Structure 1
Amino acid sequence: MVAANLNARITVWGFAIFTVASIAWIADGVLEGKTSLGVQNVVLLLINVLGVWRWLPRAGKEAGAI
């Protein structure tokens, strides 16, 4: 969804799905004592939140243009 870059709304949903997945992996890392998995997904979570923040205004503009 993100790599296809079809439109901003789809890209935002892709980043949102990645965000949820990162949170799930962080929880797994904490519960299983896998520090490296948790740290890796904290970084990915930050990247995904940045992606949502960056693309959300564009998605709003596309929705308003229809």
Structure 2
Amino acid sequence: MALGRITTLACRSFSTSVIRRAGYGEGPGSNVPFQIKNKWRLLAVMTAFFGSGFAAPFVLVRHQLKKK
């Protein structure tokens, strides 16, 4: 029973120390690797990112069909 309590305390103290060491600023969007202030730029970046992943199979199939 004492071992379980020690393990719980060790896990709890480790998790709180990791959170405290995080160097992110305050507020929403401060911990993402892209800017979210301009909603139109964000829309363009997300469209390009997800659109390229969606379009890739179609482009590759077209390339294979056009090859001789």
Question: TM-score by structure 1 length?
Answer: 0.38
The structure that is helix-richer by fraction is 1
- Which is bigger in relative contact order (C-alpha 8 A, separation at least 6)? 1
Question: TM-score by structure 2 length?
Answer: 0.37
